[in-house]
Chains A and B, each alone.
Chain A
Amino acid sequence: MKKLMNYLILSAVSFVMISCSKNDNNPVANNVSLHFNNTFKDKTIVLGGATSTDASVNTSEKDQVHRLSELKYVISNIRLVKADGTEIPYNVNDLDKGATVVNQAKPASLDYLLTNIPVGEYRQLKFGLGVKQEINTLDQVRFPVFYEAAGANDTDMMWQWATGYRFTKIEGFYGVENIAFKIHTGSTLNGTGGQPETYTQGVDAYRDITLNLTTTAFVGNNTPKIKIKADFDKLLSGRTKISLTAKNATTPSKHSGMEAMEIFVNNIGGDGKEDKTGMFSVESVEND
C-alpha cells in the first residue's frame, strides 16, 4: 500500500513537471504586435508645419502638393482570423483594452501589442478604423482609460457635440501657397445600441478593414509582428481623386458639411462594401 502511494505521488509529481515544461515549450497563447507605418506611397511620413524643410511633401494624382502637420486615427474592434476561418476577437467591446489612437507624432503609439492571443496559424487581420457605433458614446464610466487617452489635450480625438470619438484627425497644408486643411472624421448616427434599423439620422464614418496577411502568422512560441502600411497618398488619390479647395479643406465646415468627409473616409477606410482595405495593407509578417 505504501509502495502504491509512493508510485502515485511520483506519477503526480512527474505529471506536474511535464505540464510545467509543456507550458514553457508549448504555450496556449502568446503576443502579437501590430506596427503602423504611415506613409505617402512607400515613404514613411515626416510631419511638419508650413515652413518645415523636413516634412514629407506628397503630390496627388490631381497634381496637388500637400504635407501633413498632424496625423491621428483610432483603431479598434481588432480580430485575428485563423486559417480555418475562426475569428479571434481582441477585446472588441472594451475600448480600454482593445482600442488605440495611432499618432504619428508619438512613435510609441505606432506599436500596439495584442496579448494572450490563442496559439494558431493566422491568415487575416481585421480591425475598425474608428469606433463601432454601439460603444461610440464617450462613456467615461465604462472606458475611463481610452476616454482619458483620446481626450488628452495633445490628442483631442473627441467630438463632444456628437458625444462620439473623432475617428481621424488629419491636418496639414496644400498647394504652393501652403493653405491649411483639416480633415476630421467621425460618426453622427443617432439610434439605440448599434441596431442600424433604429438609426434615424446621421453619418457612419466607421470602416471595417480586412487585410490578408502576406505570410501566415504563427502564434505559439513565436510572437509575430505584423507591419501594417497606412498609405495616406490615398487621402487625395484613392477611389475618388480629390483636389483640396476652400470648399472641402475643412470637414465638417460651412462649406462642405459631411459629404466631403464621407469621400475622404471612403478613400482611406474603404467604402465598407467592396473595398475593405482603403489605404491599409500588410507590409510584412515577422515570425521570430
Chain B
Amino acid sequence: MKTVMCILSVLLIALSCSKDGMKESVEADNPEIFLHIPAGFPGLNSSVAENRPTKYGVELGEKLFHEKRFSGNNTISCASCHNPALAFSDGKQQAVGIYERVGLRNTPAVQNMAFMKFYNWDGNILQLEKQPLVPIITHEEMNSSILEVIGKIGTDADYRELFKKAFGDASITADRIYRSIAQYEYTLISANSKYDRVTRNEGERFTDMEEIGYTTFKNKCASCHGTALFTDQSFRNVGFPMNPNPEEVGRGRVTGRSADQMAFRVPSLRNAAYTAPYGSFGQFPTLRSVLDYFDKGVLEAENLDPILKENGNRIPLTEKEKKAIIAFLETLSDPAFIGK
C-alpha cells in the first residue's frame, strides 16, 4: 500500500511539474509586455490586470486592427477610421463606414487607452475588451457579426498560427479577438511630446509663446483638460452646437440622468494637432474655431457646465491668448506616436 501511495505521489508531482513546465514555456515564448506608466499619468484601468498585453497577443491584435474582413463586404477595418497617421482618428467630421454610411459621431483618437476609465464620447464602455463588438455589428460601421468574422478568418493559416502563439492553441474565439485587440490598444501610449520632455526636464524648453500658452491653458482650460492625459475624464455639456441627428443624447443615453443630457466626455488634447475636426460630431474644423466659439459664448442649457455658467457661458480669450494656447497645444504632438 505504501509503495502504491509513493508511486502515485511521484506520478502526481511529475504531472503537475510538466503542466507548470508547459505554462512556463508558453510564457517564455510569449512574454508579457511591460506597460511603463509615464510620469503624472493616472493608474491603469483595472481591466488591464485581467488582460495583460503579451508579445503575440499584441501582434495578433494589431493584425486584427487592420483586418478589413471585419466588415460585411471586406472594406473596413478598425484602422480605416482609427488611422495611425492621425493619432488613430480619421480627419472626418463623422465616422464613415461600410458603403460610405455616415455614423453618429466623430471618430475618437485611440491613445493612452490603458489609463482611461471610460471609452467613447458617452462613456458607455468601461472595459476596452467590450468595445470591438460595437463597430463590428453597427450598421454604419462594419455591418457584420462576430460569427461572420470568425468564419472569414478562421481558415487563415497565419491567424491560426498567431492565435496559437498568443493563447496556447489555434482556436479562434470571440473572446480572444476582443482581448488581443484590447492588448494592442493598451500598448498605444503617447507620452513623448515636447510638453513631456519639457516638463520632465530633459533639456528642452518652451518658446515664449508656448510658455504664455501653457500659463493661459492652466488658467482657462485645465479645470476640464486636466492631468497628464489632458482630460479629467468627466462628462460635461459645454454648450457646443448640437448634432442635428435626433438620436443624439450624449451621455444621457447611458445614464438616464437629465444632468447628463448632451454631455460628452472631455476629450484628451494629446496630439490634438492631428485629430481635427473637433467636437462630438466634428463641428469645429480647427483648434482656432473651438477657441473662437468658447470666446464668443456657448449655447445655454439647463445642465450647462457650472464653470461656464459662472463665467457668463463663455471663456473670454484675447487674440494673443488664442494664438499662445494653440502654440502650446502643438507641443502635445508626439511624432514618434504618429504612424505607430
Contacts and interface: CB of A to CB of B under 8 A. Distances in A.
Contacts of A252: 247, 249, 252-253
Interface string B291-333: 0000000000000000000000000000000000000000000
Given A255-B246, A259-B257, 16 more contacts: A139-B174, A144-B147, A151-B137, A190-B125, A190-B126, A203-B254, A203-B255, A203-B256, A252-B247, A254-B262, A257-B253, A257-B256, A257-B258, A257-B260, A258-B252, A258-B257
B133 A258 contact: no
Nearest to A184: B247
Contacts of B250: 254
Interface of A: 138-141, 144, 147, 151, 158, 160-163, 188, 190, 200-203, 250, 252-255, 257-259, 261-262
27 contacts: A138-B137, A140-B147, A141-B174, A144-B147, A158-B137, A162-B124, A163-B133, A163-B134, A188-B124, A188-B253, A188-B256, A190-B124, A202-B256, A250-B246, A250-B247, A252-B247, A253-B249, A254-B246, A257-B249, A257-B253, A257-B256, A257-B258, A257-B260, A258-B255, A259-B257, A261-B256, A262-B256
Interface string B195-214: 00000000000000000000
Nearest to A142: B174
A141 B253 contact: no
A236 B254 CA distance: 24
B76 to A, nearest CB: 15
Nearest to A205: B256
Contacts of B139: 160
Contact of B145 (A140, A200, A203, A255): A140
A261 B173 CA distance: 36
Contacts of A163: 130, 133-134
A214 B260 CA distance: 45
Contacts, number: 87
B261 interface: yes
B133 A138 contact: yes
Contact of B249 (A147, A202, A254): A254
A202 B126 CA distance: 11
Nearest to B145: A140
Nearest to B253: A252
Contacts of B254: 162, 188, 190, 201-203
A210 B124 CA distance: 31
A259 B146 CA distance: 32
A150 to B, nearest CB: 12
B242 interface: yes
A201 B249 CA distance: 16
Given A141-B147, A160-B139, A254-B262, A202 B133 contact: no
Contacts of B138: 160-161
A52 B137 CA distance: 34
B62 interface: no
Contacts of A253: 246-247, 249
